[in-house]
A and B are shown apart, each in its own frame.
Chain A
């Protein structure tokens, strides 16, 4: 589907950029280029209408704080890749699917339904029980699991390129 205001040259440019970032971080893009470019078109459409790249296969609320978990790459990508070989929209796939040895199949929605989505703070502390006294806090990227010990999380995750808001205090 074509969207006014989203040019093909933008789609191609973002496609190449995200594909390279994915591969640099050890992830794989869906080898079906037409399907994948359609998803990129959707991401750009969402960026245009909501201000952020919400998953094209999920209904965004328009409020970025409520949709942080579904800003692409979403918080559910890695568990879905492990369990189903593809993320929910199938932009990211397993090695097997990337090589064409298997096809991406529908992935059940892992995001909690609206009624169960609590007001989870952007940064929450996971560790329970006694924790070692560390000279620095440890931050975890909720998207890819990258850990780092520093005063504040990085502005951009060096592995999956998501922004600071996607980090949580781990220890």
Chain B
């Protein structure tokens, strides 16, 4: 899966599943940048065929509704949607 990496403070494995057209996904990404957290993100809408199917399956594993943004921390904590407070609490210093 095509994943972009953003450098920053190591807060564990932080993976953001997003859509390139989604306003809330963009806000989530910007928040993580502002917080200076290292994270990976993937624009699932820009993936093709099997790669996209696999990405959707991963999202659904953590968030059965399959919605975006889905933020997964250390493969266990899941935050669905632009929940600023929750994200800050989970990844703040």
Size category of the binding interface on chain B:
20 to 34
Instruction: Report yes or no: A42 in contact with B21, Cβ–Cβ below 8 A.
Output: yes
Residues of B within 8 Å of A39, CB to CB, are 21, 23
Query: B66 touches which one: A38, A57, A59 (CB < 8 A)?
Result: A59
Judge whether B32 is part of the interface by a CB distance below 8 angstroms: no
**Contact indicator per residue, chain B 41-72, by CB within 8 Å of chain A (1) or not (0):** 00011000000000010001000111110000
Q: With A58-B67, A113-B60 as given contacts, are A38 and B26 in contact (CB-CB < 8 Å)?
A: yes
Judge whether B75 is part of the interface by a CB distance below 8 angstroms: no
Instruction: Report yes or no: A57 in contact with B60, Cβ–Cβ below 8 A.
Output: no
**Contact indicator per residue, chain A 136-171, by CB within 8 Å of chain B (1) or not (0):** 000000000000000000000000000000000000
Judge whether B9 is part of the interface by a CB distance below 8 angstroms: no
Instruction: Report yes or no: B64 in contact with A113, Cβ–Cβ below 8 A.
Output: yes
Residues of A within 8 Å of B45, CB to CB, are 59-60
Instruction: Report yes or no: A1 in contact with B68, Cβ–Cβ below 8 A.
Output: no
Judge whether B10 is part of the interface by a CB distance below 8 angstroms: no
Instruction: Report yes or no: A42 in contact with B66, Cβ–Cβ below 8 A.
Output: no
Residues of B within 8 Å of A46, CB to CB, are 21
User: Residues of B with Cβ closer than 8 Å to A?
Assistant: 19-26, 44-45, 56, 60, 64-68, 80-83
